[in-house]
Chain A
């Protein structure tokens, strides 16, 4: 329960926010990205508003010893601006721009009556598997 409840609660509220703000709609997302066309500012409002509670939580984090239901905070400590980060982000952005889906909205969109999120999510999982194969190949190449 200590693991399930925070995960489920956060997931439900997150999914609710994505639908309320229409971020589950790829056309809305692409209209934000289309700076030279009929620009739609919705995504900027959503992201700006999302940053507020999130930033407050990180400030609170500095004042409490540990999370309510966990032994400690698990915050990434890697500080390096390396090429995997930037190449990965660029690849993600290309896919995101092509169709207007990113992981959260695609998963939340599975139940909204369209078939496209299903195909996108299956392809996204396949992409994650490919990355895993790619990194294990690299690791074995380094060993060999």
Chain B
């Protein structure tokens, strides 16, 4: 896997932050992907207006396509098996609803507004994710 130049990573991060800033200042909403997906799919109640959530969720692959054509087509490396993808998807879906957010809502938006809940949630999911990768790669798979 080729390393990503720090400046490119920072530019990508700035775009993500600008997206969150726009949604807040234009629509007054938190740019949390799990919450937006729940609202867009009508699985979750409340949150942003449905049309806005659908537009946001649909915008993600549109923006992805734009960069894939204009800048670089990313090479997705996925090593996980089908059962693992299903188990992980279930955990992420259930966990983000129970914990009210994911990397975007808690990580990017919550930490930026110094929400104690989001800081605690981010520390928790970073730690549990790192622990899982450690076990996967250095205990079980090592």
Contacts and interface: CB of A to CB of B under 8 A. Distances in A.
Answer yes or no: do A and B interact.
Answer: yes
Interface of A: 3-28, 30-31, 33-37, 40-42, 45-58, 60-61, 64, 66-76, 78-81, 84-104, 107-114, 116-117, 119-132, 134
Contacts, number: 492
B55 A11 contact: yes
Interface residues of B, number: 114
A125 to B, nearest CB: 6
B38 A40 contact: no
**Residue from A18, A84, A124 with most neighbouring chain B CB atoms (10 Å):** A124
Interface of B: 1, 3-4, 6, 8-31, 33-34, 37-38, 41, 43-44, 47-49, 51-68, 71-80, 82, 84-100, 102-104, 106-109, 111-113, 115-117, 120-122, 124-134, 136-138
B128 A97 contact: yes
Nearest to A111: B61
A113 B73 CA distance: 10
A13 B19 contact: yes
Contacts of A104: 33, 60, 102-104
Contacts of A75: 28, 30, 113
A96 B26 CA distance: 30
A4 B53 CA distance: 8
**Residue from A19, A23, A132 with most neighbouring chain B CB atoms (10 Å):** A19
